[in-house]
Amino acid sequence: MENVKFSFPGKVAVVTGSAAGLGRAMAVQFAKAGANVAICDLKEELAKETEKLCQAEGVKAKFYKLNITDEEMVAKVKDEIVADFGTVDILVNNAGVTTAPGKMGPPMSMIDVPEWKRLVGVNLIGTVTVTKAFAPIFKEKKAGKIVNISSQAAYAPAAAMPHYNASKLAIVSYTQSCSVELGKSNVNVNAVCPGFIFTNMYVGAGQELIDRYPQIFGSCKTEEDVVKRLAANTSLGRPQKPEDIAYAVLFLCSDAASEITGNAVIVDSGGIRR
Ligand SMILES: NC(=O)c1ccc[n+]([C@@H]2O[C@H](COP(=O)([O-])OP(=O)(O)OC[C@H]3O[C@@H](n4cnc5c(N)ncnc54)[C@H](O)[C@@H]3O)[C@@H](O)[C@H]2O)c1
């Protein structure tokens, strides 16, 4: 899949959580497609690497330190982006967190209320906060694309992380609601639900799964084995790469998808076959 081609010349894409992982892949793919990219994340060092990778594609790319749970900071960064780039055409709400290390299941009993608030505060309320800040730009110009990153966990909840599952299903519902309101302003709002990819988010999780679920992962020695074991249950029998998720995001932001809105596209190699 090296020959996937999209074209967004001169468009401005804001990607939250793009310091690394799936968000970095999205930022770089937008840059390869000619879009200028605003890279928003908490992690400066990694985000600066993404910035360089995007700039190497010949587009304008700039890092903005952003905590999506801080409403004032979101408003300030939005103003800075508009001042620097002139406008915004695309918003990808990708920043998210998962279960804190060592907090994976069993469900409910090990996950206390502050942990629920932490996770839902980033994944759901953070997405809401950023969308509220940028939506007026799209409404005014009567154009725009928003993609919210959900998860296969929205539809196939993992036993180990009920708060993550709930936050990601809530993102699908929020996406549908936004699509109704913003559709009147010619704005498409969709979600993408990735399968399982070992990014920084899941450092150490492979071993945790092996230890907690020996009946499933007992034959696994490494994180790579865990990925293969999970992928073995998919229709295509293989894991996804960050770029596979990025391609779905770019498709939804392209003219080819102009009549797709309020949708949740699952990119999991046929894992949950919904
Ligand atoms: N990796 C997977 O298997 C997988 C599967 C389904 C969905 N997802 C979703 O994809 C998205 C990207 O995850 P990833 O796997 O690339 O993980 P990642 O940890 O590499 O990336 C997440 C990024 O979000 C940033 N972030 C976290 N909290 C933030 C905040 N408050 N403000 C700003 N930035 C913040 C982090 O600094 C990080 O760079 C997440 O929403 C995640 O839930 C990932």
Where along the chain do its domains lie? 12-197+240-267, 202-239
DSSP 99: P
Nearest ligand 1 atom to alpha carbon 149: 41
Question: What tokens does 203 get?
Answer: 């450092």
Chunked mean pLDDT (size 10), the chain, 274 residues: 85 98 98 98 98 98 98 98 98 93 65 92 98 98 98 89 94 98 98 94 82 88 89 94 97 98 98 86
Amino acid at position 6, single letter: F
Question: Does residue 264's CB lie within 6 angstroms of at least one atom of ligand 1?
Answer: no
- Take atom 8 of ligand 1 and give the residue whose Cα is closest: 151
Non-local (6+) Cβ contacts of 34 within 8 A are: 7, 8, 9, 10, 11, 59
- Take atom 23 of ligand 1 and give the residue whose Cα is closest: 17
CA of residue 24 to ligand 1 center, whole Å = 10
Question: Does residue 201's CB lie within 6 angstroms of at least one atom of ligand 1?
Answer: yes
pLDDT at 99: 82
12-197+240-267: what fold? Rossmann fold (3.40.50)
Contact 143, 184 (CB under 8 A): no
pLDDT at 213: 84
Whole-prediction pTM: 0.96
**Residue (of 135, 116, 139, 131) closest to 174 by Cα position:** 131
Q: Is 213 a catalytic residue?
A: no
pLDDT at 105: 59
What is the DSSP pairing of strand 90-93 with strand 12-16? parallel
